Amino acid sequence: MNDKAVSEAVGFVLILGIVISGIGLVTLYGYPVLVKEQSNTDVKNMERAMIVIQNDMKSLCFKNVPYKETSLQVSGGTFEVINASQYGCFINVTNGTTLFQKNYTVGALTYRSDRGTAVTTLENGAVMIRQDGATGSAMLAEPRWFYDNSTDTLVIYIMNITTDTLMAKSGMTTVRMGLEGSETQSIPVAPGDNVTVEYTSSPSGDYSTAWENYLTGASVGMQRSALNSYYERNDVKTLVIKEYRIKIHDI
Amino acid sequence: MACMNEDGQWIVLMGLLVAVGLFFLALIINQSALVGQTTAEGVLEFPKNDIRDLREAVFDYTDTFGSVDNGTTGAVRQDIAMISLERKNAVVNFSVESQVEVSDHYLYPITIHYYNGVTEYDENVYY
C-alpha cells in the first residue's frame, strides 16, 4: 500500500474529535431524555403502588380486614399523607331536600414528582393523576360507588383518611393503616327528588375533571346540573352513604 | 490490522444476542406485573361466600315464613337487606312466591338479587 500523506497524528486528532463530539451530543441531548424517562418510570411505578394501596383500603373497608401494611419504593419524588381536616376537599351529599344535607371530608395520599410535573393522589378511594400547573385530571382507578337498577338504590362510599401528624417520605416506605370505624346511613328519597352530589376540590390540587367524568359515567350515571360541580341523579328511592374512617398510623 | 487472529469474534456476536434477549425478557416482565395485579384483583373480588351466606339466610327465612307477606316478614326482609349492606356492602333483595308443583314436590319459587358494585348476581330458585 502507498502510505504517503498518511499522518498518525492527524488520524488521532480526527478520531479524538469524533469521540469528543459524540460524548458532547449524548450529554446535550441524550441525558435530558434519560432523566425524563427515569422520571416517567418513577411516576408509573408510583401509580401502580397507589393502586396497590387502594386495593388495601378496599380490603379494610369491604372485607372486614382490620389492619394492613404495604411496602413501596418512593423514588424521584415525595409521598405525603394529608389529614381529612386539613386537606380541604369536600363531598356534599343531599337527598334533594333540605332535610338531609351533609358535608364529608376525605383526606388524601399524594405523590409529587421532583423532576416532572406529575402528581398522583389517592382521594376517597380513587387514584387520580394530574399535571402541576395545568388544568384537568384523570382517574386511574375508580372508587366503588354504584347504582342498583333492581332496587333503585344509590350507594356512596366515603373514605376518610386521618393521621395524627402530617407525614411525608421518600425512599423505602411502609404504609401502616387500620380501620377506625364505619357508619352506614340509609336515607329515603321521595319521588321527584334528585340525589345531589357536590364536589369541592382541595386547594392543593384540582381533581374536579376526574370526578366529573366518574360521576357522569356508567357506574354512577349522574347528570351534571346547571350549577358548576353539582351532579344529580333521578329515579333513586334509597340513598345509602357508608363512611369509613381509615387511620394511617405511619409511613 | 492485517494478519490478526479473528477467531474470537463470535464472543462479540454472542454478547449482542444476549443483550437483545435480555431486552425482550425485560419487556415481558414489565407486562407480567400488570397482568398479575389485575388477575389477583379479579379473583379476590368475586364474593362467593357472601352470596352463599345470603342464599342460606334466604332459605332459612323461607323455612320459617314460607311465602307469607305481612308486617313481620317485611321487617325480617328489611333486616336481612340492612345487615347485608352493613357487613357485606351489598344491596340485596329477594322475594318468595307461593308454592308450585315441580316434579311431584311443592316448592317455593324464590328470586334473589345481589349487587355490590362489582358483581351482580340474580337467581331464580325453587326451594
pLDDT tens digits, B12-62: 999 999 999 999 998 887 766 555 555 555 666 788 888 999 999 999 999
pTM confidence score? 0.79
CA A214 to chain centre: 13
Q: Which residue of A has its CA nearest to B47?
A: A63
- The residue among B80, B115, B121, B122 with the most chain A CBs within 10 A of its CB, best to mutate, is B115
If DSSP codes are grouped into helix, strand and coil, which group holds residue A243? strand
Q: pLDDT tens for residues A15-56?
A: 999 999 999 999 999 888 888 888 888 898 899 889 989 988
If DSSP codes are grouped into helix, strand and coil, which group holds residue B31? helix
Q: pLDDT tens for residues A214-238?
A: 999 888 888 888 777 889 888 888 8
Residue whose C-alpha is closest to residue B33's, from A51, A16, A35: A51
Residue whose C-alpha is closest to residue A85's, from A110, A58, A109, A108: A108
Contact across the interface for A62 and B89, Cβ inside 8 Å? yes
Q: Which residue of A has its CA nearest to B118?
A: A144
Decide if A90 contacts A123 (C-beta within 8 A): no
* Burial zone of B6 (CB within 10 Å; 0-12 exposed, 13-18 middle, 19+ buried): exposed
B87 touches chain A (CB under 8 A): yes
CA A176 to chain centre: 18
Question: Contacts of residue A55 in chain B, CB cutoff 8 Å?
Answer: 41
Tell me the three cell numbers of residue B43. Answer: 379473583
Q: Which residues make beta-bridge pairs with A40?
A: none
Decide if A233 contacts A154 (C-beta within 8 A): yes
Question: Contacts of residue A150 in chain B, CB cutoff 8 Å?
Answer: 91, 93, 113, 115, 122
Count of CB atoms situated within 10 Å of the CB of A56: 18
Q: pLDDT tens for residues A105-152?
A: 998 999 999 888 899 999 998 999 999 888 889 999 889 899 988 889
Contact across the interface for B115 and A146, Cβ inside 8 Å? yes
